[in-house]
Amino acid sequence: THFGFESVSLGEKQGLVNSVFERVASRYDVMNDVMSGGLHRLWKNALINELGLPRGARRFRLLDVAGGTGDIGLRALKRGGPGTHVTLFDINPAMLEVGRGRSEKEGYADRVEVVEGTAESLPFASGSFEAVTISFGLRNVPRMDLALAEMCRVLVPGGRFFCLEFSTVDVPGLDRIYDAYSFKAIPRLGQLIAGDGEPYRYLVESIRRFPPPDDLADMMRKAGFSRVSYTPFTAGVAALHSGWRL
């Protein structure tokens, strides 16, 4: 079976995405480690290093869009000073529930706000955040152009945006190994560990359909970001894009 992703409308796409993350929410963190061989941790730490989090009490409000189980938000709270506040924003209540639980368990509940909604229309005033992140989230959003414009709007002037996402493997030879790994091994691992291969077929397909890094950089410029740049990680398996609201 197959999600038939090519033929679904934008509205239907969100429905498919939601059912995928509802099914995997409780196993999401484990699956991330297994499927990326732990690499997602290195990429996420690299993003945190770029955030410029204050050590001291200076106010720093981070909006983590598609924040899911809280990986980026919690890392930011651990790294930043007591003025660091995180808004964990996601469309999926099951993912947010895991994020809320982790925030409480790790003692950050008073500096985490959990908000449910779609990235295509953010329920925040313009200029509300010093930084906005979206990590392995943008490819799930049906209308990426709307989401990018919204993430720019809610930044303070001088604020910075980061998008961590799977990208285009650009090393000859490795691209074929990567294809074999993702199309065959990933759904099988999903079947084995999570008892369900289907969500992982969706995952692999959505990675293939995501724009190559230069195209994403162009989309960011069109959405209003300045000084757009990106860094490929692990031969292009992932990339970190950044832009400023000036």
Q: Does 132 bind ligand SAM (CB under 6 A)?
A: no
- How many residues bind ligand SAM (CB under 6 A)? The answer is 20
Distance (Å, whole) CA 178 – CA 171: 10
Inter-CA distances, 52 with 21, 106, 162, 196, Å: 30, 22, 12, 39
1 labelled as ligand-binding?
A: no
69 labelled as ligand-binding?
A: yes
Q: Does 239 bind ligand SAM (CB under 6 A)?
A: no
Query: Mask 14-33, x = binds ligand SAM (CB under 6 A)?
Result: x--x---x------------
CA nearest neighbour of 102 among 81, 116, 119, 86: 86
Distance (Å, whole) CA 37 – CA 225: 33
Out of 51, 80, 90, 245, which residue is the one contacting ligand SAM (CB under 6 A)? 90
Residue with the CB atom nearest ligand SAM in the bound state: 68
What is the contact surface with ligand SAM in residues (CB under 6 A)?
A: 14, 17, 21, 66-68, 71-72, 90-92, 95, 118-120, 135-137, 140-141
* Binding-site sequence positions: 69, 90, 135
Annotated binding residues for S-adenosyl-L-methionine, written as ranges, equal: 69, 90, 135
